[in-house]
Amino acid sequence: MVLVLGHRSEEIRAGLKTDLDHEKLEIAENAHYREGISSSIITGLRVVEDIYDHVMIILADMPHITAHLINHFLYHFLLSGLPLGAVKIGERRSHPVIFGKAFYAALHLLTGDMGGRSIFMENPGRVCLVEADGIYDDTDIDTPDDYRHVQKI
């Protein structure tokens, strides 16, 4: 698992409630975080691209992603044999997402505050969409008000 940190990374490290020295965790510093999410994707990808055939991107601002959802998604994605995958809620694509090695070069070409949406749009026949098992709230936290709302729930 690679945790990509950028803005206020030292504060975030100090506030994490996990073993930062865990053998399965690597923290990658994104010095270019001001360039948008693409720079974080590329930073994390650089750590794993020579080792793994797939990369799963999980956004840290989506607090309702659970181990159960990840395992359900991964199981069905791997059965499909397709190179792209995403969790599906109703008729819309959501997160987490998976990119096969065939798309690593395309991920490296991302710029600005754009994730991999264009890759999915350009390759609709190569995408495995996995319906979330049970109730899944894909709310993300973008503002202090969003955070306060999620805390109330």
Average pLDDT, stretch 89-101? 94
Per-residue model confidence (pLDDT) at position 149: 82
How many Cα atoms occupy the beta-carbon half-sphere of 127 within 13 Å? 20
Q: Which two tokens stand for residue 128?
A: 């495995």
* CATH number of the domain enclosing 40: 3.90.550.10
Mean of per-residue pLDDT scores for the chain = 93
Average pLDDT, stretch 78-87? 97
Q: What is d(CA 55, CA 122) in angstroms, rounded to the nearest whole number?
A: 18
Residue 16, number of CB atoms within 10 A of its CB: 12
**Binning pLDDT at 50, 70 and 90, where does residue 30 land?**
very high
Q: Answer with the residue of higher pLDDT: 89 or 17.
A: 89
Assign residue 112 a region (left: φ > 0; alpha: ψ between -120 and 50; beta: otherwise): left
Proportion of the chain above pLDDT 90, given as a percent:
75
The 10s digit of each residue's pLDDT in 104-126 is 999 999 999 989 999 999 999 99
Per-residue model confidence (pLDDT) at position 36: 93
Helix (H) or strand (E) holding 104: helix 104-108
Buried b (16+ CB within 10 A) or exposed e, 101-113: eebbeebeebeee
Q: What is d(CA 127, CA 136) in angstroms, rounded to the nearest whole number?
A: 20
Which domain covers residue 31, as residue numbers?
A: 2-152
Tally the domains of the chain.
1
